Chains A and B, each alone.
Chain A
Amino acid sequence: MSCAGPPREANLAPAARGPRSAFAWPVRHRGWLAAFAALAVLPLVPGLDSDFVRSVLTQMAIAAVFALSYNVLFGQTGLLSFGHAVYYGLGGYAAIHLMRAINHGLALPMPLVPFAGALAGIAFGALFGALTTRRAGTIFALITLGIGELVYSAAFIVPSLFGGEEGITASRTLGPALFGIGLASQIAVYYVVAAWAFVAALSMRAFTTTPVGRMCNAVRDNPQRAAFVGYDPRVVRLIACCVAGLFAGLAGGLHAINYEIVSADSVGALRSGSVLLMTCIGGAGQFAGPVLGAVVLTWLEASLSGYTSAWLLYLGIFLMIVVVFAPRGLAGLIAMHAPLARTPAFGRVLLAYAVAAAPAAVTVVGLVTVIEMSYRVSTQPELGTKMRIAGVAVDAASPVSWIAGVIVAAAGFAAFRRTRRIVASAWTLAEQQRPAARATPS
């Protein structure tokens, strides 16, 4: 394999930096310590300690692992995949079959089930990676799309393995308990998933700092040059595919434990699309970006999809807005503000945002009114035309509500465009103050 003998100097440099004190370690790893504390404490915080919130938190942790695994391909290696759910779903199937075996008497603790998912993930990562990694870019995207469809249609053809539309079910409580702890309650499931998620995130972070992980970046940025210095881009991409498959399969295994069912949906195009959305909306450029995207989108879906059937429409619009106005995602937006946060004018920037947020919110309310009324009329006529939007009663049958919705949206948008100048001037001011703040020796 051509990836042996990496340059070692690059990895030694960061460790040598910073003052050597007792606090150096916790300070340097404050992000991870905070994440650990949050994972441990969140489901116990009063207000968040219901089973519903715990289940949403569990879903967030699973989605975060899945999105991070996607970013090994997308952000780190520059491979845009439209079929990443293949590894997730096949990992899920492997895990659910193992769970069934445990239900039938195999002596294995349930929390270890995600191992099966990870193994399946890496195996299929190697198999499909061998087919797809010859070239990056557009062609890779198209081939992964085709493989995703292939696996999805295969799931309906072999019902004894995939269970078709209904899927395969198993029980997470029927089996030997690890240290006497069963998986009966949602909180136990949460902690198992959270522990796996934390370990997986740490491992993926560690992978980015390995020589292979760095070569992934090199292959992303300039495959010719990487090949020229002796690293076959195809091999590096294949390794990235295997690692991404491994963690996606692990996420699938966590899915199997959490839902106790795996169906053809879990390998489908919609799930592949959702992980892509999470990663891009969160921001592929930062390690924490996909986690942010997974948390935000899972939260939005859990809180909104009960109220609206237009969820996918909002999601699509959200993605388009992010691509046009924030190409580096939400994490990129936050990172963009980090250098400004210490300037005196930062308060003005926040104030300008608050000023802009009001008309933006008005625009959204107007648009949402029109969209929700259209959906009600076209897809749920049986519910009648009277509905409540943001606490206001509207009647989709009367033209007044439609005209009002359009006028509110248009007026809000017109006002929003005017606030651009306020935001721009606050930004310019903060930008001007930035170099001065930066010039102080650290």
Chain B
Amino acid sequence: MAEIVAVSLLNGIVYGLLLFMLTAGLTLIFSMMGVLNFAHASVFMLGAYFSFQLGQWIGFWPALAIAPLLCGATGAAIERYGLRHVHRSGHVAEILFTFGLAYVIEELVTMAWGRNAVANSVPPTIDFALFSLYGSSFPAYKGLMMAISVAMFAILYVALKRTRVGLVIQAALTHPEMTSALGHDVPGVFVLVFALGSGLAGLAGVIGGFMLLTQPTLASAIGPIVFVVVVVGGLGSLAGAFIASMLIGVLQTFAVAIDYSLADALRAGGVAIARGSPLYDLVSVRVSTVAPMAPYLLLVLILIVRPRGLLGKRDV
């Protein structure tokens, strides 16, 4: 029992950190620009594919640096040549634009790498067991991922709170006209923020590509979960996004590990339900089968109990 708890907890934290890397970029873009970027998970997927391709050409370590930069450049281009022109039509138009973009990126990835998953395996330099826990080993790449995501947030936090550029970004967020009047390039700041958020997604993609299957449906598989994290954490709140990521990461990993169903519990309590009825289907579902539903169930629960999200300031 202790074994299951410890291993699931560890994996849950790893998955949660990955989710946080993704949601952090999304939250950053959303809280700065009010733009909900539906193509965010697609940029994450691009990160996975870029690192796969670059890893084959020039090795893993350069790819780890270059793939996020490429994703950042992609994000900057999306803002500069796409979203900026849609901005005047309002937020709904922006969402629709990025929604169309998500379709396009998924298909472009299919075009370049095919419909099946590519063999994006962990490079030999980090393919060893870091330590082992109750006999199951903890791979080094997951350790690297945790280190990267923690370091990234320390740097991001310091950069936003303690540097001049960070100050300008914060100012452009709350008072765009005033910041512009003081001679700062506000549209340039928006491009920068978009590039930064996309770069974070790309970095998450490099590591996430090892954990999840690198295939064209990766974005549509993880995208909705990322949005759930954003709502559960409270729209626009970075700290809320962190807590929600961890919660959903741990919840989902634990759910996968539990191989019991409600019927088992009922049987233990002396209640038996006839086979073949819809009710039997419903109660005999194993918790591990419901795992993909867990984030959405949590979403509905949060909406009923605390509509503003965990750390949201406003009522949703």
Contact = CB atoms under 8 A, between A and B. Distances in A.
Interface of A: 80, 131-132, 134-135, 137-139, 141-143, 145-150, 153-154, 157-161, 269, 273, 276, 280, 310, 312-313, 315-320, 323-324, 327, 371, 374-375, 378-379
B103 A319 contact: yes
A368 to B, nearest CB: 13
B292 A141 contact: no
B99 A273 contact: yes
A161 B280 CA distance: 11
A313 B278 CA distance: 40
B170 interface: no
Contact of A149 (B82, B99, B296): B296
A323 B278 contact: no
Given A131-B300, A142-B227, A150-B297, A379 B110 contact: yes
Contacts of B122: none
B289 interface: yes
A37 to B, nearest CB: 34
A135 B299 CA distance: 15
B171 interface: no
Contacts of B295: 146
B261 to A, nearest CB: 11
B307 A137 contact: no
B103 A324 contact: no
Instruction: Tell me whether chain B's interface is mostly helix, strand or loop, or mixed.
Output: helix
Contact of A324 (B34, B85, B113, B315): B85
A227 B172 CA distance: 32
A240 to B, nearest CB: 16
A138 to B, nearest CB: 5
Contact of A134 (B91, B227, B277, B316): B316
B106 A378 contact: no
Contacts of B99: 273, 276, 319
Contact of B91 (A138, A273, A379): A138
Interface string B139-163: 0000000000000000000000000
A276 B110 CA distance: 23
B95 A138 contact: yes
Given A158-B285, A269-B224, A320-B82, A143 B299 contact: yes
A159 B281 contact: yes
A158 B110 contact: no
Given A153-B293, A160-B281, A310-B107, A323 B224 contact: no
Given A131-B300, A280-B96, A327-B89, A142 B106 contact: no
B115 A379 contact: yes
B114 interface: yes
A137 B91 contact: yes
A323 B83 CA distance: 10
A131 B231 CA distance: 13
B104 A316 contact: yes
A159 to B, nearest CB: 6
Interface string B79-113: 00010011001011101110111111011101111
A280 B97 CA distance: 11
Interface residues of B, number: 55
B97 A316 contact: no
B97 A323 contact: yes
B303 interface: yes
B308 to A, nearest CB: 9
Contact of B281 (A138, A158, A323): A158
A280 B95 CA distance: 12
A45 B85 CA distance: 44
Given A139-B235, A159-B281, A327 B93 contact: yes
Interface string B267-299: 000000000111001100100011011011101
A58 B276 CA distance: 36
Contacts of A315: 100, 103
A327 B102 CA distance: 19
B316 A135 contact: yes
A132 B85 CA distance: 30
A157 B284 CA distance: 10
A316 B89 contact: no
A143 B231 contact: yes
B93 A323 contact: yes
B251 interface: no
Contacts of A319: 96-97, 99-100, 103
B89 A323 contact: yes
A280 B235 CA distance: 25
B304 interface: yes
B230 interface: yes
A304 B91 CA distance: 32
B119 to A, nearest CB: 15
A415 B236 CA distance: 44
A408 B82 CA distance: 24
Contacts of A137: 91
B230 A142 contact: yes
Contact of A150 (B113, B227, B231, B300): B300
Leading 3 A-B pairs by shortest Cβ distance:
A316-B103, A313-B107, A319-B100
Interface in B52-99: 82, 85-86, 89, 91-93, 95-97, 99
B281 A313 contact: no
A312 B106 contact: yes
11 contacts: A139-B231, A142-B36, A143-B316, A146-B228, A147-B299, A157-B290, A157-B293, A158-B285, A313-B104, A315-B100, A379-B115
A282 to B, nearest CB: 13
A313 B316 contact: no
Given A134-B315, A146-B231, A323-B86, A313 B111 contact: yes
Contacts of B179: none
B11 interface: no
B221 to A, nearest CB: 10
Contacts of A317: 100, 104
Nearest to B223: A145
B299 A146 contact: yes
A153 B292 contact: yes
Contacts of B103: 273, 312-313, 315-316, 319
Between A131, A149, A319, the greatest number of chain B beta carbons within 10 A of the residue's beta carbon is seen for A149
Contacts of A323: 86, 89, 93, 96-97, 100
A290 to B, nearest CB: 14
Contacts of B289: 157
A324 B100 CA distance: 11
